[in-house]
Amino acid sequence: MPDVDLRVNLAGVTLKNPVVVASGTFGFGREYGQFYDLGELGGICAKGLTLHRREGNPAPRIAETPMGILNSVGLQNPGVDAFIAEELPFLRQFDTKVIANISGNTPEEYGVMCEKLDGAGVDLIEVNISCPNVKAGGLAYGTRPELAAEVTQVAKAHAGKTPVMVKLSPNVTDVTEIAKAVADAGADALSLINTIRGMRIDVNTGRPILKMNTGGLSGPAVLPVAVRMVWEVACAVPGLPILGMGGVSKGEDAAQLMLAGASAVAVGTALFADPFAPLTVRDGLAALAARQGLARVAELTGGVKPW
Amino acid sequence: MKVERKCKIVSKERLNHDAVYMVLEAGDMVRTSCKGPGQFVHIKCGDSLLLRRPISVCSCQEDEPEDLVAIAFEVRGEGTQWLADRAVGGTLDVMGLLGNGFSIKPEGRYLLVGGGIGIPPMRGCAQYTEGRSTAILGGRSADKIILRDLFERECAKVLIATDDGSLGHHGFVDALVRQELEQDRAYDAVLACGPKPMLRNVAKVAAEFSVPCQVSMEERMGCGVGACLVCACDMKDGSRKHVCKDGPVFDSREVDWDA
């Protein structure tokens, strides 16, 4: 089979292949860097950052569900300054793109973090307006178009030349409304989907498994929702690059998201079963593109032929 | 480099109605990642379950042609049932050895405390200290006192407590820890593994006698290597550490027992 060109463009950033690891599933790369060269990855979305250190939610923070998991980590992280000082230099050693993921309590906090990260030099900033596991900010920004637009504007105004990608929540009635608002506010790209709110109860005790009662669902169970939302958003805001994610664990899953309109994909939950999952997805995607006779994997993007 | 590999099941034994003992051929896993007794392996339990199951290492040794890792686990749900059903000669997808074990010296003398399925991880400590340590084993009833013969061979003394009084002291292990420390405080540390209420009580007794105490904690786990941050353990200083990467063994004084 001929070699397929795996390079893709995401908001002006060239990724060596379309497979990125999803924020919150890969720490700051050090752990999985013990399994393989991080330079094999198209990009790394680092663990979600806040302006100040956060300890996150009490345990249990994870529950297994049919073909999925629920998590309620709650943005545990060392804060943006510690990331820049201690983690970014490590990530910068590898031939891969570094995507910082940020969450703020106020639009101003998003601005401050963007300024710091642009100064420190990351390849992309992913603005999280959709974390289901924090009380302030988080999901609230992601479910109201005017707030999502405000956060996007502030982030753009402070991010300098660093492209801003806004991560959308699936926990809304119409994801295209938020996507349009964020696009109009100047977002350079969109990423979706974040986790879907869910709950699991221990029938013997009557207690929810998660200490926070509810959490975010991820894993293969959410793939069809992700494909549908990526497709809807791609139709609603044509031309705006999309990083698709949600339940990707093999090449075919990634291809579905790309056909639906994604320029690149992120792998997350699949890592927990298989640390090598992102590489398996990359190779599977390359094989699939080769079988279809494509010269470039990017040709898949938006190729769906709806009935 | 961290190890993820296929391991062959070389033997399997039922320890009681719920507990299974297995020996795995693990390539060079012990040589490359052993940090001492108390680590764990993270095992994939079939294709339909997304999360691996963390299982404590009971004992491990460098060996030819392959290193050997012994595990013991209790069937508690779908994943451990799948694992218990595997046949000798079959292979498992295993990550390991993960986490940090007990901080112990081979020439030391320790008071080892294991409760229920917390008994097996203490066995490595017994072996490591070559007969100098004392073991206190506890469980709901006599059948839950597993691996007793190994501890009797590898420890200077073995004390037993059962909740229902069917074997040894009628009551909890912390009463035996107190009884032992009242007679003899010359232990380098108390090392314990078991349910959290048991660990809290054991840590309290050790503190009363000013004997250092290390505890092996359990929490629902995701990645097993410190990337996903789900297995949080509340610390006294208000921080949250992670059982898979910072633990599973912690100094009992660091843990917030009221959380």
Tens-digit pLDDT profile for residues A60-94: 999 999 999 999 999 999 999 999 999 999 999 99
- What ipTM was reported for this prediction? 0.92
Whole-model pTM: value is 0.94
Put simply, the answer to whether B226 touches A31 (Cβ < 8 Å) is yes
3-state SS class at B22: strand
Interval A48-61 mean pLDDT: 96
Query: Which whole number is the average pLDDT over B155-168?
Result: 97
A8-300: CATH topology is TIM Barrel (3.20.20)
Chain B interface includes A275 (CB < 8 A): yes
Q: Residue B1 is nearest to which of A31, A35, A269, comparing CB atoms?
A: A35
Which of the four pLDDT bands, split at 50, 70 and 90, describes residue A138? low
For residue B222, which residues of chain A lie inside 8 Å, CB to CB? 62, 69, 71, 272
Please check the confidence at residue B2 and state whether its pLDDT lies above 90.
Answer: no
Does residue A37 register a pLDDT over 60? yes
Chain B residues 18-77 with CB within 8 Å of chain A: 44, 48-52
Interchain proximity A68–B234, CB inside 8 Å:
no
Q: How far apart are CA B70 and CA B26, in angstroms?
A: 10
Asked if the C-beta of A1 comes within 8 angstroms of chain B's C-beta atoms, the answer is: no
Q: Does A69 touch chain B (CB under 8 A)?
A: yes
| B226/A56 touch (CB, cutoff 8 Å), yes or no | no
Domain B110-216 grouped into CATH 3.30.379.10: no
| Residue A32 reports pLDDT greater than 70 | yes
Residues with Cβ < 8 Å from B112, sequence gap 6 or more? Answer: B122, B125, B126, B133, B134, B135, B136, B151, B155, B191, B192
B227 and A32: CB-CB below 8 Å?
yes
Its CATH architecture, for the domain B3-98, is: Beta Barrel (2.40)
Residue A134 has what pLDDT?
62
**Closest alpha carbon to B146 in B72, B61, B225, B78:** B72
Q: Measured between CB atoms, which of A24, A76, A274 is closest to B240?
A: A76
> Is A131 in the active site?
yes
Q: Is the distance from CB of B74 to CB of A243 less than 8 angstroms?
A: no
Distance CA B43, CA B53 (A): 5
DSSP state letter for A3: P
* Residue B65, preceding peptide bond in cis (omega within 30° of 0): yes
CB B160 within 8 A of CB B148: yes
Instruction: Convert the pLDDT of each residue in B105-143 to its tens digit.
Output: 999 999 999 999 999 999 999 999 989 999 999 999 999
**B235 and A CB contact within 8 Å:** no
Question: Half-sphere exposure of A111 toward its Cβ, with a 13 Å CA cutoff?
Answer: 9
B244 touches A at CB < 8 Å: no
Q: Region of A124 please: left (phi>0), alpha (psi -120 to 50) or beta.
A: beta
Question: B2 — contact with chain A (CB < 8 Å)?
Answer: yes
Cα(A133)–Cα(A127) distance, rounded to whole angstroms?
15
Cross-chain Cβ contact B239/A220 below 8 Å: no
* Interface check A31 vs B, CB under 8 A: yes
Half-sphere exposure in the Cβ direction for A170 (13 Å, CA): 24
Mean pLDDT of B158-164: 97
The answer to whether residue A140 scores a pLDDT higher than 80 is: no
Q: What is the pLDDT of residues B62-112, one digit of tens each?
A: 999 999 999 999 999 999 999 999 999 999 999 999 999 999 999 999 999
Minimal Cα–Cα distance from A89 to chain B, Å?
18
Shortest Cα–Cα distance, A253 to chain B (Å):
16
* C-alpha closest to that of A40 among A241, A281, A270: A281
SS (H, E, C) A191-256: EECCCEEEECECCCCCCECCCCCEEEEECHHHHHHHHHHHHHHHHHCCCCCEEEECCCCCHHHHHH
| Contact residues on chain A for B231, CB-CB shorter than 8 A | 59, 61-62
Strand positions, DSSP E, chain A: 8-10, 13-15, 19-21, 43-45, 62-65, 68-71, 97-102, 124-128, 164-167, 189-192, 196-199, 214-218, 242-245, 264-267
Helix, strand, coil: what percent of chain B each, to 5? 20, 35, 45
Sorted by where each begins, the domain ranges of chain B are 3-98, 110-216
CB contact under 8 A, B238 and A55: yes
Least Cα distance to A147 among A125, A117, A124, A127 occurs for A127
On the question of a cis peptide bond just before residue A224, with omega within 30 degrees of 0, the verdict is: no
| The pLDDT value given to residue B154 | 95
Report which of A75, A208, A268, A220 is spatially closest to residue B230, judged by C-alpha positions. Answer: A75
Residues in chain A with CB shorter than 8 Å from the CB of B53 are none
Task: Give the C-alpha separation, A290 to B126, whole Å.
Answer: 56
The beta-carbon neighbor of A34 closest among B1, B222, B234 is: B1
**pLDDT(A1) > 60:** no
- Interface check for A26 against chain B (CB to CB < 8 A): the answer is yes
Q: Residue A61 is nearest to which of B2, B50, B232, comparing CB atoms?
A: B232
Does residue B3 register a pLDDT over 70? yes
Q: What is the mean pLDDT of chain A?
A: 95
- Mean pLDDT across chain B: 96
Question: How far apart, in whole angstroms, are the C-alpha atoms of residue A151 and residue A169?
Answer: 14
Split at pLDDT 50, 70, 90, the class of B259 is: confident
The residue among A37, A61, A131, A250 with the most chain B CBs within 10 A of its CB, best to mutate, is A61
Peptide bond preceding A89: is omega within 30 degrees of 0, i.e. cis? no
CA distance B156 to A182: 69
Under the banding of pLDDT at 50, 70 and 90, the label for residue A3 is: confident
